[in-house]
Structure formats: structure tokens, C-alpha cells
Structure 1
Amino acid sequence: MRNPLNAAKLNTAMEDVRRAGMPGLFAEVRDGDQTWRGAAGVADVLTGRPVTADMRHRVGSVTKTFTAAAVLQQVESGQIGLDAPIARLLPHLVPGERGDAITVRMLLNHTSGLAEYLPHAYPSLKALPALPETDPSSLDDNRLRRFHATELIEMGVTAPAAGAPGGTPGVYSNTNYLLLCELLRQVTGTTAEEYITRNVIERAGLRDTELPTEPYVDGPHSQIYEAWFGMIDPPRDYSVYDMSWVGPAASLISTVTDLNRFYDRLLAGEVVGPSSLAQMQQTVPVVSQEGKIIEYGLGLHPMEAPGQETFWGHGGTTWGAGTLAMIRADGKRQMAVAVNLQRWNRLDPSGMPEPHPIDGALAALCHAAMYG
């Protein structure tokens, strides 16, 4: 049964998230030919400037669907073999038997066994999800630091392995997607940023989406606030930040409208072909960065509610900014939401995040958007 958009319920759900403690958030929900856009709260806690639904935003790991689509395009053209060992093209980055054992597919679905490099690039943060000894000093140390992708990849490759290549559950790791970006550079002769811009962003007709080369967000945008589990109080503005620490694995800037347009065209077969989309939707169990077992495909993550429809999409977080974008499997219902505060939960004595009213309010907003 179709549940048409209910603007009053969506507006109330947005306000509930703001009242729960979120400075500002904005969203777009689509159902067939209906579109609702809404915003609540402030884009700047100092001036009270309001958020608006057309703002540009750092969308974090939502970027991974764009990167995966670019790789699948090269699979379609015969330049990359999905089950080919990465040693054929990247022997200098993953040498020896390990490079022979890890395939392109394993990078895409996080079953390579390669460790996450972030705890090494940001040593004060320690490793998720248990964080009893964490402190946020690395966030400021690296604010304008320019990382090179191969430097970060080396951190992940030389760290103790997270698992055996191809083993499940896999372990979510940004190292995998930086390697995919290097793979794109090798086979296309251009940077991953340039290839993704030309062949994914522009192909999907996105007008306000880019992979940044500077630490600023151009155009109308919110300030973004990082609380680091209550250790930064009040939360600090990280809207100016050099995103080379994740590159085309998680640095995309977009809008909720562009994200909905992208996932609509992806599922319609306009970004990659139907067979590639089917590959993207083949999932395996993966341990998320929050320590939960999720199902993960090739840059796509299915989100399900018991007895109800499946939605495909991705979530993303960076220092201060969070995003979630999803589309129902039939392509008819969509949601993209952006928030300007991250890691609002405080930690319990074991170092695990404690529940916060924002959690329930965001879940209620997603339910109202997805199911009416």
C-alpha cells in the first residue's frame, strides 16, 4: 500500500530531532512525483543563521557508492576484472601473496582483510567502537594537513590484518576504497576525482556535487560541529578541513536533492548497467565502524525493516557532518537527510556510546520518511 508524503508529520519529526539536541538538519523525501523538502534548526550556533534544505554538505562515506559505480563502469568496459587480483595493477601498494589473494570485489565489499588506517593517521582517536582511552586532539592536529593516498594506504596495509582475504564477516575499512581510487588512476590515466566527476557526477546530472580539492565548502552550507562523545564541549566547528585524509573514499560535497537524484538514476540503470547494479546489490556480512554486523554490497548498503520494503543506499559521517541517503528497491520512495553534529553520544565506562535522545528522534524521522 502506498503511503503518500505527509508534510506535517515530516516537519514534526524534523523538529523532534532538533529538540533532542541537533543544532540543524535538512532533508528531501520523494514519493513518485511528490517531493517534500524541510529544514529545522540553525546552520551557525553563534549567529542563529537557519539551515535551509538546499545547503551543500560533506556527505562522508556516501561517496563510496560513487566510487564503486566508477569502478563498475571500468569493469563494464573490460579494463578491470571484478574478481581479478589487485596485484596485477597495484603490486607496489599490496605486494606479494596478499596482493595475489585480494580481488577488486573484496575491496568493494570490505572483505579484503585490510585494516582501517584511521587509527594510525589519527592516533589519539584510538579504534572504534570501544574508546575508553580516546581523545580528540588529532582532529585539530590534522585540520589542514595534506595526506597522500599512498601514505594512508601504507598505514592500512602494514597494520595487523583485520581478517583473511575473502573471509566473512568482512571489516569496513577506508583503506579498501583508497586502493580503489588508485586502481581507477592506474586504468584511466586520470585521477579518481576527475574520473568520478566526469563519468558519475556529470552522467547523473548532479549540479551541486563535487569532490573538493580545497578545505572549504563552496556555496551555501552549514557549519558542522564535532562533539567527539562529549569530549569537545561545546562542539567545535570543523567546516574548514582538508579532506585528503579520506580523499574520494569519503570527501564528497553534495545536497540532499542531488543525492536523491543520484540514487534514483543509479537504480534506474543510468549510471551503471543492470548487471553491474545486480553485482552492487550482492551482499556479504561486514563489521561496521560501529562494531555492528551489517549486510554490505559493492558500495551499497541495504536497509530493511521487519516485514517491510528494502531500501538501498549509504550513510556517511565526517568530522561534524552526517548524512544518510536511501531509495526503496522499486525506486519509488527516497530520502536524503543531513545533520550538522556528530558523535553526540557520551561514552560509558567501557568506552561504548550511550543512548541519546537524538538517536530515537532520527530513527523516527527515517521511519516517517520511508514508510509514511
Structure 2
Amino acid sequence: MFGNGALQLTNLDDFITPSQECIKPVQVEKKNTSTGSKIKIQKEGYFEVDDQGVSSKLEKVDITLADCLACSGCITSAEGVLISEQSQQELLKVFEENQTLKANGNIEQAKWIVVSLSVQPVLSLAAHFQLSPDECFSKLTGYLQKLGADAVVDMTVAEDFALLEAQREFVQRYRLNAQKQNVLPMLASSCPGWVCYAEKTHGNFILPYISTTKSPQQIMGSIIKQWVGKTLGTPQHRPIYHVTVMPCYDKKLEASRKEFFDAQTESRDVDCVITAIELQQMLQGEGLSLVDAPEGRLTQPWIPEDGQGGAGDGEVRLRRHVGSGSGGYADHIFKYATKELFGEDVSLPLEYKQLRNPDFKEATLEKDGKVLLKFAIVNGFR
């Protein structure tokens, strides 16, 4: 959250209030009884009363991702159908269909599969398999290429574009705000779950303040489908099937949004989203460990080859931006805005002051006792 002057956040908690209780709070085992059983709700919890009048306390059920995504309180049934297309089963099906087409000599009908890797799931898998980040990046690239990926690319380039665009957007908003247009603070969040929550809970009260910059995932979708697909072209003019490896299941919902559907190509910017957990499940399904996977090389179509342009292959090197683990928006926008608006230079990373708790901290630019900028990093869904 970025703005100028006073900044106040209230009601910072991630607890579900009584009116928001999950629709699936307990699990009831089916039993054959003459009259059926009843459920009584008491202060101590939920109790099942059988036909003999004996009551027993019900245990709380574990809510899985499938339960949450299927809940009508969060997403619509139409969104649920779209999310079902975002799974490792769907990805493996596409790989298998491609292999069949190629084996039968119909390579021009096969999809050109591009997989974009983000940093966070690579780090998660590296920790799980006790690999260095660069080793994990290389082996994950090799594993995906072995499955049938035609190109594996690094999503950091899209994160670069997201930071640059967010920097410009904030400066533009700041100047408009000085003209009494009330466009600050700017909320920069790449979390589609939070955006969905804001849309369905707060509506126009909060939406005008959310940054209009696309997330790195969707910027990558535009790069792959629009620039690589239409400008550079693909072998045999094959249609692109774009997969992203992301840290969060909510990215599936983001990829399914109608705003990111191209009517001309009749496809989405991102066709399938896979998480680190799903990649691990894919490996387990084959009885493999990422440690034993072959090493691979990234495809980097934005790096000129022999100075003539085109798709270049590069050594796998993992890199990240300065700042928080969620993209570094606050640090980079603060530094850019400080220079652009006030001619001041600041070094990164910024020094933050913790406020109410470790999940709420802020950075302030002051000059001659006057607060010029005040940025905050707020972690937590609400």
C-alpha cells in the first residue's frame, strides 16, 4: 500500500468471523439407523444425537483446497469449472496427446508447450529435495523438457516489467492526487485471492485504489502468447500451450479470468497453472526424485542469438529482486518515486519500521520535518 501523508489500517486479522464461518464445519459419518441422527449445536461444539438419545461430539473436518475452491461463498460455479482445467492431470494429458501426435508424424498439429518458472516454487522444491536453487532450477527445467516441454523460460523478465509499470503508475497517481483526483493510496498486490475478495466484498469502495498493472504471471502470458507467438512465431506455426509454475493455487483463478482470454486466438494467456506441490505429486507418481532428473537449459527468446535476435538458450541462473519475497514492489516503487518526484536518492533494501505486528511495517520519506511519502507492507489476507 503506497501513498502520501497519513496512513491508517484497521481490522487487521485473518480470523473468520461468525458470519463467515465455513459451510463445512464438521464431518458426519453415515450410519444405518431407524430414525436417523440429529446434530445439536452447543457452545462446546457440534454434537450428534443418535436414535438412542446418546450424544457424541463431532470432530472438526480438515478443509482442503478443493473444498475452498468449490465453496460458493468464495467463487462461482463457473469459476470452479475453469479451475478444474488447471491441474497436473490436464497438463499430463496435453503432454501425452502431443507425444502421440509427434509419434504419428503430425507434429504440425501438436501444441508448442512453453513452461514459465517463477522463483518461489523453485526455492520450495530446492529446500524439499536439498538442492541448491540453481541446481533445482536446472533439474526442474530438464524434468519438464523430458515430459515434453518445447521451451522452459524464466519468469523474472515479467517481474521486471511489472515493477517498471508499477513505478510509473504510482508516480502518475501521485501527480493526479495532487490535482485533487483522490487516486491514492495505491494498493499493489499480485495476490489474486485478495483481489477476488476485494471485488466480491468491498466493490467500488476499494477497487479504484488497486494497481492496474498486470501480475508477472499475466505479463508473462502476454509475452509468450503475443510477442513470442505472433512476432517471433513458433515452429510449423504450432499453437502455444502456456504453463506457469507458481507458488499459490489462487493463480489458477487468476489465469481463468475472462480479462485474460484472447478472442482472436481463442485461448487464454496462461492455459495451465501448476504449483510446487503438484510438481512434487507428478514426480511421486512416476516414482522419481528431482535429484535424479536430468539438467536442462532455459530458452530465452528475448536474448539475441549471434546479434541477430531470435530464441537463445542460456545457462540456468536463478535471480530475484531486492525487497520482500513477494516481488519487491514497495522497495522499487519507493526508490523510483523518491528520485522522480523529489530528486532524492535512497539505497535498497529500505529500512522499515514495525507497527502493530511483524506483518505490518512501513517506510517513510521525510524532508525538513515533512512526510513526503509513506509506504506500507501488509501481510495477511485481510
TM-score range, shorter chain: under 0.3
The structure with the greater share of residues assigned to helix is 2
Which of structures 1 and 2 has the larger relative contact order (alpha carbons within 8 angstroms, sep 6+)?
1
Output the TM-score relative to the length of structure 2: 0.27
